[in-house]
Amino acid sequence: MSLEKIGEHDVQLASSHLVQAPLIVIDGECDHGGAGALRAAVEEALSADTRVVLIDLEKCTYIDSGGISVLLGAARTLRDRGWLGVLAPNDNVRRLFEIVGLTVDTSFRVFDHREDASRALEDLGR
């Protein structure tokens, strides 16, 4: 697991795996300033030709269009082969996903618990 403190921004990213799917944990506030590091982490995860990428938002206290645009881009990239899963977003973050239309995107899935994501990945057969 790698942990990266991003410059002066109040966000930390950690990368690991859940049932072989890349998992990125966002801890803190993911704004326009921190979006570049998230974009790099997501692009690295996508480059592994994986069908699913997971982003743990349980400790993400804030997100704006800087971070949301990275998630939208990832969901679009995965559309033909799988989906982007987000774990445990708080109510405010979830509301933003609804506003921008992410929650009606078939390649974007929200899981309340990590176990639910594990089950979905096992159903996917990998």
- Please choose, out of 8-16, 45-53, 81-89, 112-120, the segment that lies near other proteins by the rule CB under 8 A: 8-16
* CB closer to other proteins out of 97 and 117: 97
The tokens for 115 are 């176990």
Contacts of 90 (CB under 8 A, 6+ apart): 57, 60, 61
Any idea what the Cα angle at residue 62 is, between residues 60 and 67, rounded to 5°?
A: 85
* CB closer to other proteins out of 68 and 110: 68
Q: Which of 15, 27, 40, 73 binds other proteins (CB under 8 A)?
A: 73
Residues 28-67 that bind other proteins (CB under 8 A): 29, 31-33, 62, 64-66
By CB under 8 A, tell whether 16 contacts other proteins.
no
DSSP assignments along 65-102, one per residue: HHHHHHHHHHHHHHTTT-EEEEE---HHHHHHHHHTTG
Q: Which of 96, 114, 116, 124 binds other proteins (CB under 8 A)?
A: 96
- Residues binding other proteins (CB under 8 A): 7-10, 29, 31-33, 62, 64-66, 68-70, 72-73, 76-77, 91-92, 96, 99-100
